[in-house]
Amino acid sequence: MSEVVYSSTVTAVGELVPEFAEQGVLVWFGENAPIELHEFSIIHRPELALRAPEVGDIIKINETTFNVLAVGSVSSENLLNLGHLDLKANGLNEPEMPGDVNVEAVPLPTVKIGDRFTVISQP
């Protein structure tokens, strides 16, 4: 049975986020992130943090869904401790960096304040 294991709400969107999204990358940070990171980051507030994404899970940004293809070795620790996630829509089955979470190579949505970020486990 599918289960929501992580959910958060976007509280700020840096001015460079659209440029990163065009390159297939969304950088997420929790609200305690240093101000220097805000320019290129999506800042969010977690409401539920049971665990981070794993291969085979679904990530939803509002109603747009992505299949998780690969997760880096520190991606779980980063998300749960810092709210940090490098979401890469590159279609790769192996992470390029330890903090990466890879999904299909598809266009990323425009993210706005109030949007929802959700991780859904798959049986």
The string of pLDDT tens digits covering residues 81-109 is 999 999 999 999 999 999 999 999 999 99
CA dist., res. 12 & res. 17, Å (int): 10
CA dist., res. 41 & res. 78, Å (int): 14
| Residue 123: pLDDT over 90 | no
What is the set of active-site residues? 44
Residues of the domain holding 75: 3-121
Query: Model-level pTM?
Result: 0.95
CA dist., res. 49 & res. 93, Å (int): 24
Q: The CATH number of the domain where 112 resides is what?
A: 2.40.33.40
Work out how many domains the chain is built from and give that number.
Answer: 1
Q: Which two tokens stand for residue 19?
A: 């440029």
